[in-house]
């Protein structure tokens, strides 16, 4: 059994053994969940955990080896069968007591929400940079992203759109996908095409934050609740228009109208210039504690091949 004690062990706090499976590139001792849990627990990474966090990266089914409490996490717009988990974090807005909404933009970017608070010098600084064109970064142009691809194609006929991602790349090199590299790339442009691969209630990824962090005006499409989470006057929401043509005509108008462009820059990203409620870590900590205190729900057959494999190895 592997036990790894995290820093700042506090004898006044209870021990909580946790593990992670199915996550891509996660540092088990340093991530969003270990960070918030350390507020109330001595967190220990163990292959015999009290609580397992599992995700859907690569179609992983390794969580079936575990019989402890399980919390599922995804940044996508899907959930597994509720029989597989005791609680779930997902971006979708779902009325279900074992689900907690966690917009991916909260944990999927390196931007601190405090960096999005505008001050009185914000607008003049951006205007002095004399930005031009629109930045764009995506990796997926599959069937689900057809609307995004079509919009990019139509917008490109009206204004310069510089695509630095792995898909639709037109700048001759791929920009690294880390937050700082994306910010530096998008910071060259007046606008940022920040479109999800689909539109769904609550499905908002890091794209809108990446655009705001770069100080480019976001051209957004995706989460139908986005206007409730950010100040709708600070970005262009494609869903607010009757059709694609009308949206593109308006984008061109903003590009050519200095006062209209300045009006967007003057608006705070957050409503009342304060980070929205989803950046409150207590929401997620309290949900985890609720799951820990609730009866176990997730089940596996006692004679399943997963359970038998677990017994053989541990």
Query: Rounded to two decimals, what is the model's pTM?
Result: 0.88
Determine which of 38-52, 83-97, 102-116, 265-279 has the lowest per-residue pLDDT on average: 83-97
Number of Cβ within a 10 Å radius of residue 227: 16
pLDDT score, position 10:
79
Residue 143's Cβ-count burial label (10 Å; 0-12, 13-18, 19+) is exposed
Read off the DSSP letter of residue 144. Answer: G
pLDDT score, position 300:
57
Longest dimension (CA), the chain: 69
The answer on 143 and 33 residing in a single domain is no
The answer on 284 and 153 residing in a single domain is no
The answer on 132 and 269 residing in a single domain is yes
Residues 128-133, mean pLDDT to the nearest whole number: 97
pLDDT(302) > 60:
no
The pLDDT-based confidence of 310 (bands split at 50, 70, 90) is very low
The answer on 163 and 253 residing in a single domain is yes
> 114: number of CA atoms within 13 Å, CB side?
0
245 is a domain residue: yes
Residue 68's Cβ-count burial label (10 Å; 0-12, 13-18, 19+) is middle
112 is a domain residue: no
The answer on 133 and 90 residing in a single domain is no
pLDDT score, position 312:
37
The answer on 60 and 84 residing in a single domain is yes
* Domain with 232 in it: 118-273
The answer on 236 and 122 residing in a single domain is yes
Question: Any alpha helices (H) in 187-243, and if so which ranges?
Answer: 207-213, 226-229
Number of Cβ within a 10 Å radius of residue 271: 16
Q: How far apart are CA 184 and CA 210, in angstroms?
A: 10
């Amino acid at each position: 059994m592997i036990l790894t004690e995290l820093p700042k062990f506090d004898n006044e706090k209870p021990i909580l053994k946790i593990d992670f499976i199915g996550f891509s590139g996660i540092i088990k001792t340093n991530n969003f969940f270990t960070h918030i849990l350390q507020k109330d627990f001595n967190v220990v990474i163990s292959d015999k955990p009290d609580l397992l966090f599992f995700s859907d990266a690569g179609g992983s089914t390794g969580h079936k080896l575990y019989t402890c409490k399980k919390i599922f996490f995804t940044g996508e717009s899907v959930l597994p069968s509720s029989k597989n988990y005791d609680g779930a974090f997902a971006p979708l807005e779902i009325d279900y007591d074992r689900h907690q909404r966690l917009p991916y933009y909260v944990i999927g970017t390196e931007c601190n929400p405090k960096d999005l608070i505008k001050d009185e010098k914000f607008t003049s600084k951006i205007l002095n940079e004399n930005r031009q064109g629109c930045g764009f970064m995506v990796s997926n142009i599959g069937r689900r992203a057809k609307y995004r691809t079509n919009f990019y194609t139509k917008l490109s006929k009206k204004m310069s759109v510089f695509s630095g991602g792995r898909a639709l790349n037109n700048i001759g090199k791929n920009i690294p996908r880390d937050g700082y590299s994306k910010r530096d790339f998008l910071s060259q442009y007046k606008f940022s095409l920040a479109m999800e691969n689909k539109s769904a209630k609550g499905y908002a990824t890091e794209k809108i934050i990446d655009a705001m962090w770069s100080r480019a005006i976001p051209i957004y499409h995706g989460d139908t609740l986005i206007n409730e989470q950010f100040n709708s006057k600070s970005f262009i929401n494609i869903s607010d228009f009757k059709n694609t043509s009308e949206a593109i005509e308006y984008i061109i108008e903003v590009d050519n109208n200095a006062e209209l462009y300045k009006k967007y820059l003057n608006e705070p990203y957050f409503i009342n210039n304060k980070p929205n409620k989803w950046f409150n870590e207590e929401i997620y900590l309290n949900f985890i504690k609720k799951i820990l205190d609730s009866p176990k729900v997730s089940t596996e057959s006692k004679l399943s091949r997963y359970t038998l494999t677990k017994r053989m190895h541990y």
